[in-house]
Amino acid sequence: MSGALTGRRALVTGGSRGIGAEIVRRLTADGAAVGFTYSASKADADELVADVTANGAKAVAIEADAADPTQTAAAVDTAAAELGGLDVVVNNAGIIYFGPVNELTQEQYDRLVAVNIGGTFWTVHSALKHLREGARIINIGSCNADRVSAPTSLSAYAMTKGAISSFTRGLARDLGPLGITVNNVQPGPVITDMNPGEGDFAEYMKKVTALGRYGHTSEVAAMVSFLASSQSSYMTGTNVSVDGGYTA
């Protein structure tokens, strides 16, 4: 895919760590100029910019809380101004709270919905004025939208990712006449700082995937880069699982 995104300008929300950071690295490696948002991890964001720009690519870090529509709108406009426009939007920002429904606080619920659903909606809302025919919107959902394999206290999180799945399909219909595609990447168990590939929970998760292992952030980023490219021009409204067969 190297060079497949040359000339493309992308915004990645929640791009300073984990899957988001790997998406930034992959998109820039494939030729895109990338703006990405971060909330609390300025040091990680600055380090990522330094790494990417050292290789000759363009990356811009933008501080914004995905739960705040005003900050989200400002971040979209800043990215468009810094990059000279937008062609690709990757809605990656998300949070998770573990806990039974009856133990989830109102504050936790409100923030879960505000970031995971609202952050995606308001980013798209603000980005549409910058997007033209051939643009790509790529949402990052979760395999838990389709399956929660055991009592893991993830029902509220799964609800928000189910909403992203539905939003993707509806938005694809809305934007199809404009030549803008919308797809949803649903990662399964993937190794990150917050989700290590070792330990009791990881061993259980490996047993319920067809491949018997955790995925790597690079495997998710590869799918995002494909969906951002012209090679995916006839794909829209799809929920693409990158989950090692967790939902098989």
Q: Which of 98, 123, 110 has the alpha carbon at shortest distance from 13?
A: 123
SS3 of 136, please? strand
Tokens coding 231: 């090679």
Torsion of CA 23, 30, 137, 180, to 10 degrees: -170
Q: Which of 38, 97, 109, 157 is catalytic?
A: 157
SS3 of 55, please? coil
DSSP strand E in the chain: where? 9-12, 33-38, 59-63, 88-91, 136-140, 181-187, 239-242
Q: In angstroms, what CA-CA distances link 147 with 121, 155, 191? A: 23, 10, 19
Note if 157 is an active site residue.
Answer: yes
What sections of 37-185 are H helices per DSSP? 42-54, 69-83, 106-113, 119-127, 155-175
Quote the DSSP letter at residue 83: H
Question: Within 13 Å and on the Cβ side, how many CA atoms surround 173?
Answer: 4
Q: Enumerate the active-site residues.
A: 157
